[in-house]
Structure 1
Amino acid sequence: MTKKSYSLIGVDLGGTKVAAGKVTGNLLTEQFTEKLDQTSDDPMDAVRIIIKLIHKLMDVQVKGIGIGVPGLVDRSTGVTYDILNIPNWKEIPLKAIIEEEFNVPVYVDNDSNCFAMGECRYGAFAGHSDFVGITLGTGMGAGIIKNGQLIPDAHCCSGEFGTMSYLDGIYEDYTGGPFFQRQYGKSGEVLSEAARKGDSKAKEAFNTYGRHLGNAIKTIIMAVDPPLIIIGGSVAAAHELYEEAMWQSISEIPFPSILESFQVKFTNTKNIAILGAAALCPDANK
């Protein structure tokens, strides 16, 4: 069976909605989205939406289902732990539930790992087999790719650099999107628009952000030593406003010779959350 003769389904469970799509070859051929009920305290309501959307996409050509979630996941069992913005989600065996419903292999992982796998398989930098993929949005997450695969972890928390101690908090306090609202009283979107129009205070806000991000990247370099870091997420869209300050901070690394062959690239691959979830399926690499 050739790659184009079968399909994979990717599901992105977000904090406010579920998005699901069918991937055939390298193309997202069909997609559905449904909002979560923000008043519900039953996590199974979200699971039922996942099942509903998969049913819309399911056919005999589907060989696997990948699901990305914003929380810790035991990859081997597919048990999902606390999920961002979904109350009472505790140790739900999502893999087992979905496999029982559809009788095809199901793969579940953290959404940042999905981002990294999506870039590895379908993104602008597909073909790179060793890198760290960072998502900058509500927080900061990362997936570590080695030899074209996510590195194995013992406790479901590889790549959680955003939770490491930094200044008076943790890294994602200073590298996630809410940093701008918290520090400057305005959203990153508002500040980016002002900075592009030449507002000096807005430009300095992004310079400050870039220095914090550069410090986080230095930590990742010293921990993982990747040849490449790929950055995506909502804050990555404004990278031209903070990239210079980011590199200035990175250049202060104790071993500057490391940087001779080190790269940081920004990406905005469309539908990467769904593509990345589908990329969890081993058949995505065939």
Structure 2
Amino acid sequence: MSSSKYLGVDIGGTKVHAGIVQAGELVQEVRFETSANAPKAQILSELAQQLAPLVTADVAGIGIGVPGLVDEANGIVHNVQNIPAWREVHLRQHLANCFGKPVYLSNDANAFAVGEKMYGQGQPYANLVGLALGTGLGAGLIINHQLHAGTLASAGEFGMIPYLDKTLEDYCSGKFFVQRTGQPGAVWHARAAQGDAEALAVYTEFGRHLGQALHIILYALAPEAILLGGSVSQGFAYFRGGLYESLGAFPFPLVAERLVVAPSALRHAAVLGAAALCHLKQRPLTSPPQAPAP
């Protein structure tokens, strides 16, 4: 990604994490809360004010990951999660007018996948899926070294697929722990870390469900790697057994055996990926990127 500086912005429903990325490193960052229930114009104004100190003359572009539908061609975000006023926001135009920089948008799961492809374990793979396991289930798709966003950046919404009595998201995200046990995943993670048998059994059950989601991803895309992000992925050691139990039943064993499944080891993947959107839009990849110099 050369030595150019880019601003990566990860917009959440209540918080924003932004930072300057140069040569694959986050060299400056800021975190701030959003006025999630404020009018659209107020949120836009506050966002620009908070980002302004980072947008220096040597910043070559701004990349943004948003939890919602994104019209990448026109720079418009729709239906942003947990920000009711953001039903249709011309975000690219607003920030370009404020800062005079090129602005690139996609959804947050796509940004995570791009971060892994540019800087993380995804670098060697032509085809990979970045699977975000948090309060919901999101996915970013890299196909033949390129981000595949689809219409309104909505490709990869596996969480919305019907599964059992609900959807995959209900069984393969933080929702599972709350709906299944009445307690959040953090409680079960703490107990599993102490070797609690009940907690380990809950994680094994979660892993089996996640393995079924991976079946669907393999049928649809047959990627070489699936990299896991989000808060729930921190429990990988506890649900790995259940996940591979499910994968063992995949009807094409040679495909399943070649699949790499691993939790992300990349710090700040969403911000790095948001910044990397600038690079991908300006100079699409045609081969695996080189890792940044140590």
Q: Identify the residue that residue 34 of structure 1 maps to in structure 2.
A: 32
Q: Tell me the residue number matched to 1:135.
A: 132
Give the structure-2-normalised TM-score.
Answer: 0.91
Residue-pair matches, total: 283
Task: Report the AA paired with residue 17 of structure 1.
Answer: K
How far, CA to CA, are the matches of 1:152 and 1:246 in structure 2? 26
Unaligned runs of 5+ in 2: 290-294
Partner Cα distance (2:267, 2:256) in 1 = 29
Q: What is the aligned counterpart of 1:147 among 144, 147, 151? A: 144
Higher alpha-carbon deviation: 210-219 or 117-126: 117-126
Helix, strand or coil at the partner of 1:64 = strand
Check the 8 A contact 1:233/1:268 in 2, yes or no. Answer: no
Aligned residue in 2 for 1:49: 46
Query: 1:108 deviation in Å?
Result: 0.6
Q: Which residue of 1 aligns with 2:21?
A: 23
- Give the alignment of 1:171-210 within 5 angstroms: 171-210=168-207
What residue is the counterpart of 1:14 in the other structure? 12
* Whole-angstrom distance in 1 between the partners of 2:202 and 2:59: 47
Cα shift at 1:49: 2.7
1:165-199 deviation line (CA, Å, top 9, x unaligned) = 11111111111112112211222111122122222
C-alpha deviation, 1:210, in angstroms: 0.4
Aligned-pair identity in percent equals: 37
1:152 deviates by 4.7
Give 3-state SS (helix, strand or coil) of 2:205's partner.
helix
**Equivalent in the alignment of 2:237:** 240
Q: Is the 8 A contact 1:11 1:50 kept in 2?
A: no
Candidates 97, 102, 121, aligned match of 2:99: 102
Deviation at 1:147, TM superposition (A): 2.6
2:292 equivalent in structure 1: none
Deviation at 1:44, TM superposition (A): 2.7
Question: Conserved in 2, the CA contact under 8 Å of 1:11 and 1:19?
Answer: yes
| Structure 2 match to 1:3 | 2
Structure 2 residue corresponding to 1:87, chosen from 73, 84, 89 = 84
* SS in structure 1 at match of 2:125: coil
1:155, distance to aligned residue in structure 2 (A): 4.6
List structure 1 runs of 4+ shifted beyond 4 angstroms.
283-286
**One-letter code aligned to 2:87:** K
Matched letter for residue 227 of structure 1: E
CA distance in 1, matches of 2:85, 2:21: 31
- TM-superposed deviation, 1:54: 2.4
Q: TM-score, normalised by structure 1?
A: 0.94
Alpha-carbon distance between aligned partners in 2 of 1:152 and 1:252, rounded to the nearest angstrom: 30
Question: Does structure 2 conserve the Cα–Cα contact (< 8 Å) formed by 1:112 and 1:135?
Answer: yes
The corresponding residue for 2:156 is 159
Q: d(CA) in 1 for partners of 2:135 and 2:149?
A: 25
> 1:264 matched to which residue of 2?
261
1:216 to 213, 221, 228: 213
CA distance in 1, matches of 2:264, 2:169: 19
Flag structure 1 segments of 5+ consecutive residues without an equivalent. Answer: none
Secondary structure of the equivalent of 1:194? helix
CA contact (8 A) 1:22 1:29 kept: yes
CA distance in 2, matches of 1:54, 1:264: 35
Tell me which residue corresponds to 1:78. 75
Q: CA offsets per residue over residues 97-125 of structure 1, 9 Å max, x none?
A: 11122121110110000000011112244
